[in-house]
Chain A
């Protein structure tokens, strides 16, 4: 049971190896390292959240600022994921199925957002869309669209940081499935949309689901980029991660409980996303 992952992922059964003298030391070193770095600290946070019982936690989560922060976070994440899914599937199809000048460059560039510091993302958006000094900001503001210190800017920052996640999942699968079925469908008279809906989309659906779940997890937890472009005003532009920071820096047990409760909910969402991905993942090899 324990090594089903290894077997299915490798695609073949593995010969059983003789135990080595290093096996136990290595196993223990890895478990202790992960325990000290991840498991123990996460467990303490879960424990501290419920230190005073469930009542204060629910009360903290019911505060209007907290409810608002989570609503805003979910709305931002939703739009960022919708945008990245449409854009991601489109770009993936273009990169894999078509040939055009600059394709390689584009393929490398779409990975760029994963390596850019969130603070730099915020700064970059600020320089272009700031209503006061940005390149396009003043014009957009005259047209009635405020980007920075408003929701469009937060959605853009969130979309920026999670942009490559869908593409990374979909591109390898598109390579793998090839074009035979798509060509067969179109030679039988299917339109481009029919071919996409009936052939391509079902083939990439699991990759798409992982991409969307990973993007969602990343979007819900975005902090640095959103901090720069949002201003973090409570009940206006304060997302859940910004609320955790603000409450943790305040004094008093109630503020601390609110910080821990919000952090716990964010962590729970992240872990649920991970479990969903790891449960769904092996099924695409059983096709």
Chain B
């Protein structure tokens, strides 16, 4: 009937559920266009909710765009193309892409092990996956510093290097691909795989031709969320990366130093780039989930 995703901690981060558009049973399909079923009380409720949502989210985000454009195109381009800002954006996007690729591979592997393998302590792994989501980002930085910073038991000194950025991104984006792939993997019917295997397909062929295509939309949406999270990361880098211009300074840190220097227009210009990417990710997810809903 629907692509109903099992409600789990994952959905909280994953994003497939809320934007999903399943018609409520009992609603006539005919009246879907331009008709409201609002009663007077619910219309007032909607008004109050929209007022709060506008004051909290929409107007402030519009203010960022307005402030960014206050210097005109020239000012906008100038703010974005200053060498230090450009370096920060390059570093952020480059590392986010790299980390997203690692997440796709490791996230799928982790989801696979959680669904298909069984061993003592698997329940613990389930909780470990969600730790990066629940842990405050500043604590995440402190945590990573303990193994990869000064006095590391592994003898690694990655603090204040670009490895620190990779690590922090890997840590905070860990749950996304796992939690989007896991429910889909659980829903795959073993019969299809068995049929393919009985027809002589090797394990790898079964994975490539049967399992991977059904996982692809989930992997894509998980990767998109991981990417969006990585480019906007701030808290875990504060203690870990040293925020050195040209080498470990990411976009969010750049925005903060603009805010602290009272250069709100430049801060808004960089912020608008991050907002644009967030918007593209959300629209992309909406398109993916609609396509899945149609084909599923």
Q: Is A10 in contact with chain B by the CB < 8 A criterion?
A: yes
Binary interface encoding of chain B residues 249-276 relative to chain A, with 1 for a CB under 8 A from any of its CBs, else 0: 0011101100100001001100100110
The yes or no answer to B38 lying at the interface (CB within 8 A) is yes
Q: Contact between B37 and A9 (Cβ–Cβ < 8 Å)?
A: no
For the complex, what is the distance from the CA of A87 to the CA of B53, rounded to whole Å? 9
What are the residues of chain B within 8 A of A223 when measuring CB–CB? 136-138, 234-235, 238
Q: Which of A102-124 contact B (CB under 8 A)?
A: 104, 106-124
A108 CA / B289 CA spacing, docked (Å): 12
Distance in angstroms between the alpha carbons of A284 and B9 in the assembled complex: 13
Please, which residues of chain B bring their CB within 8 A of the CB of A9? 6, 8, 183, 186
| B189-215 Cβ-contact flags toward A at 8 Å (1 or 0) | 010000000000001000000000000
**A224 contacts which of B49, B106, B132, B234 (Cβ < 8 Å)?**
B234
A99 touches B27 (CB 8 A): yes
Q: Tell me if B36 and A112 are in contact (CB < 8 A).
A: no
B88 at interface, CB cutoff 8 A? no
User: Is A72 in contact with chain B by the CB < 8 A criterion?
Assistant: no
Are A2 and B278 touching (Cβ within 8 A)?
Answer: no
User: Which residues in A have their C-beta under 8 angstroms from that of B293?
Assistant: none
Size of the A side of the interface (Cβ < 8 Å), in residues, is 119
Contact call A228/B235, Cβ cutoff below 8 A? no
Proximity string of chain B (27-47) to chain A, C-beta cutoff 8 Å, 1 when within and 0 when not: 100011011111101100110
Cβ of A197 to closest chain B Cβ, rounded Å: 15
Inter-chain contact A119/B256, CB cutoff 8 Å: yes
A260 vs B239: C-alpha distance when bound (angstroms): 13
> Is residue A160 contacting chain B, with contact meaning CB distance below 8 A?
yes
Q: Which residue of A lies closest to B189 (CB)?
A: A12
Indicate if the CB atoms of A45 and B187 lie closer than 8 Å: no
Q: Are B122 and A3 in contact (CB under 8 A)?
A: yes
User: For the complex, would chain A's binding face be called helix, strand, loop or mixed by DSSP majority?
Assistant: helix
Which chain A positions have C-beta within 8 A of B118? 2-3, 6
Determine, out of A52-60, A61-69, A175-183, the stretch whose residues face the partner at the interface. Answer: A175-183
In the complex, the answer to whether A270 meets B136 with C-beta atoms within 8 Å is yes
How many pairs of residues, A versus B, come closer than 8 Å at their CB atoms?
A: 341
Is A263 in contact with B5, judged by CB distance below 8 angstroms? no
In the bound complex, do residue A172 and residue B143 qualify as a contact, i.e. CB atoms below 8 Å apart? no
> Is the CB–CB distance between B183 and A241 below 8 Å?
no
Separation of A114 and B59 alpha carbons in the complex (Å): 17
List CB contacts (< 8 Å) of B93-128 with chain A. 106, 109-110, 112-123, 125-128
Knowing A15-B190, A172-B11 touch, does A127 contact B67 (C-beta < 8 A)? yes
Residues of chain A contacted by B123 (CB below 8 angstroms): 2, 5, 278
Complex CA–CA separation, A275 to B143 (angstroms): 20
A111 touching B255 by the CB < 8 A rule? no
Q: Determine if B136 and A220 form an interchain contact, defined as CB atoms under 8 angstroms apart.
A: yes
CB interface residues, A 133-190, toward B, < 8 Å: 133, 135, 156, 159-160, 163-165, 167-169, 171-173, 175-176, 178-180, 183
Q: Which of A8-31 contact B (CB under 8 A)?
A: 9-10, 14-15, 17, 20, 22-23, 26-27, 29-31
Q: Which residue of A lies closest to B135 (CB)?
A: A270
Residues of chain A within 8 A (CB-CB) of B38 are 98-100
Please judge, given known A-B contacts A120-B64, A165-B12, whether A38 and B278 are in contact too, CB under 8 Å: no
Residues 246-263 (chain A) with a chain B CB within 8 angstroms: 248-249, 259-260, 263
B113 touches A30 (CB 8 A): yes
Query: Does B13 interact with chain A (Cβ within 8 Å)?
Result: yes
One of B5, B9, B274 near A120 (C-beta < 8 A): B274
Instruction: Identify the closest chain A residue to B153 (Cβ).
Output: A44
* Partner pick for A133 among B31, B37, B233, B264, CB 8 A cutoff: B264
Which residues of chain B are near A133, meaning CB under 8 Å? 264
Q: Is A198 an interface residue (CB 8 A)?
A: no
- Given A26-B117, A217-B134, is A168 in contact with B57 using a C-beta cutoff of 8 Å? no
Partner of B171 from A22, A37, A169, A244 at Cβ < 8 Å = A37
Can you give 13 contacting A-B residue pairs, CB < 8 Å? A2-B123, A5-B123, A23-B117, A38-B132, A87-B52, A97-B24, A100-B37, A115-B232, A135-B59, A245-B239, A263-B139, A267-B143, A274-B9
Q: With A175-B24, A259-B142, A263-B138 given, can you name 20 additional A-B contacts, CB distance below 8 Å?
A: A2-B118, A17-B116, A30-B110, A87-B52, A87-B53, A90-B49, A99-B27, A110-B18, A111-B15, A118-B234, A120-B64, A127-B60, A135-B59, A169-B12, A172-B7, A172-B17, A175-B22, A207-B7, A241-B138, A275-B127
Q: Enumerate the 7 nearest inter-chain pairs by beta-carbon distance, A residue then B residue, closest first.
A: A221-B136, A117-B232, A124-B60, A115-B278, A270-B134, A44-B146, A127-B63
Interface set of B (CB-CB < 8 Å, partner A): 2, 4-9, 11-13, 15, 17-22, 24-27, 31-32, 34-39, 41-42, 45-46, 48-50, 52-53, 56-61, 63-64, 67, 106, 109-110, 112-123, 125-132, 134-139, 142-144, 146-148, 153, 167, 170-171, 174, 183, 186-187, 190, 203, 225, 228-229, 231-235, 238-239, 251-253, 255-256, 259, 264, 267-268, 271, 274-275, 278-279, 281-283, 286
